Structure 1
Amino acid sequence: MSDVREALMVGRNSEGKLVRRPLSPHLQVYKPQLSSVTSILHRGTGVVLGIGTLLLAAWLVCAATSDGAFSVIQSLFATWLGILILFGFTVALFYHFCNGIRHLLWDAGRGFELPDMHRTGRYVFVATAVLTVAFWIIAFLVW
Structure 2
Amino acid sequence: MATVPMTKQGAEMLKAELHRLKTIERPSVIQAIKEAREKGDLSENAEYDAAKERQGFIEGRIMEVEGKLSAAQIIDPTTLDADGRVVFASTVEIEDLESGDKKTYQIVGDDEADIKVHKISVSSPIARALIGKYAGDTVHVLAPGGEREVEIIDVRYE
- Shorter-chain TM-score category? 0.3 to 0.5
Q: Which has the higher contact order (CA 8 A, sep 6+)?
A: 2
Q: Which has the higher helix share?
A: 1
Q: Which has the higher strand share?
A: 2
TM (normalized to structure 1)? 0.34
